[in-house]
Amino acid sequence: MAAADGGGAIARPVLVFALLAFFLGATVLIATVLGLVTRAARPEERIRRRLSFYTLSGRQARLESQVEQRGVLGSNPISRSAVGLAERVTQRQGLGEAIDARLEAASLPMRTPEWLVVHIGCAVGLSLLLLAISGGSLAATIAGLLLGLAGPWMFIIVRENRRENAFLSQLPDTLQMLAGSLQAGYSLPQALDTVVREGTPPMSVEFNRALVESRLGMPVEDALEGIGRRMSSQDFSWVVMAVRIQRDVGGNLAELLTTVADTLRERERLRRQVKVLSAEGRLSGWILGGLPVVFFLYLAVANPSYLAPMWNSGLGIVMIVMAVVLLAVGGFWLTRVVKVEV
């Protein structure tokens, strides 16, 4: 009985501290969200959105202005200090370009230091939340930390995939629009401007950037090639290659774009058909890969003592390592089986 009381006395301060930290983090998160909502209604923000049409990208390049320096997380002293520290870390480690490219591909209006602050906040907040719910379980805290570290990257990957799929689905109609504009007597930059005015994101945003880059002196083919790199689209890279060849040797560019649009439309139809046929395998992979992780998190929160032998014995640690390795190998094998290149 004394041991139990001692354990409860030890767990109670930990639980109180975790609850206080969680509520503090929730307060900061709510304040940040309210700041973003109120910021969108400010006059300078409306002006910035109007001027963003003429910038190099929809999310704007890094401008040395007061609006840009405020950042997504606001201009309060805490956020400025955290972003400044993260910026020094990214400059020292050389992570800025790689993470900026991922954020740009996912169309997230954030800089690398801001993303690192949000990332660390998610990891710490989720680990403290599971610590409070489980009553001081170390396994739940570690699981929450790992989930908080992996969750934001999964969010970026999902955003990238959705944006790339939307780009591919809009590509045939966009090429048909370009061909129609060229047949009507427009030049190629004028045809690009037609796509910007009449298209929808992400196509209009990417073509807006290419159009502005061409107006600043970059060759049109190089500006279009940048779209293919940012969207990781091999189909669009082939389109740019065809445009380069046509501008070198001559020919009817409108007819060429019409033929390419028909080909890409058939490829998109075949890609969707393959996606439908492989839907069952992909769903099975998600269920088989996620079920052990979800069940482990449930046990770590609901009954931590059930998992205690896995941490307190050498055999349990070996079993955990083997389970993680086998789960990773099985998940990789399932993704290779259901993935069909079109």
Q: Which amino acid is located at 329 in the chain?
A: V
Q: What is the DSSP string of 39-77?
A: HHTSHHHHHHHHHGGGSSSTT-----SHHHHH-TT-SSH
pLDDT at 303: 81
Q: Are 127 and 144 in contact (CB under 8 A)?
A: yes
Q: What is the mean pLDDT of each run of 10 residues along the chain (342 residues)?
A: 41 56 57 48 49 45 42 57 64 68 79 80 84 77 83 88 88 90 87 88 89 88 88 86 83 86 88 85 85 84 81 85 88 80 68
pLDDT at 138: 77
pLDDT at 302: 81
CA dihedral of residues 159, 165, 169, 175 (deg, nearest 10): 90
pLDDT at 235: 84
Query: Which phi and psi angles does 235 have, rounded to 5°?
Result: -60, -45
Rounded distance between C-alpha atoms, residue 41 and residue 102, angstroms? 28
The DSSP output letter for 136 is S
Cα→Cα distances 169→64, 155, 267, Å: 36, 21, 10
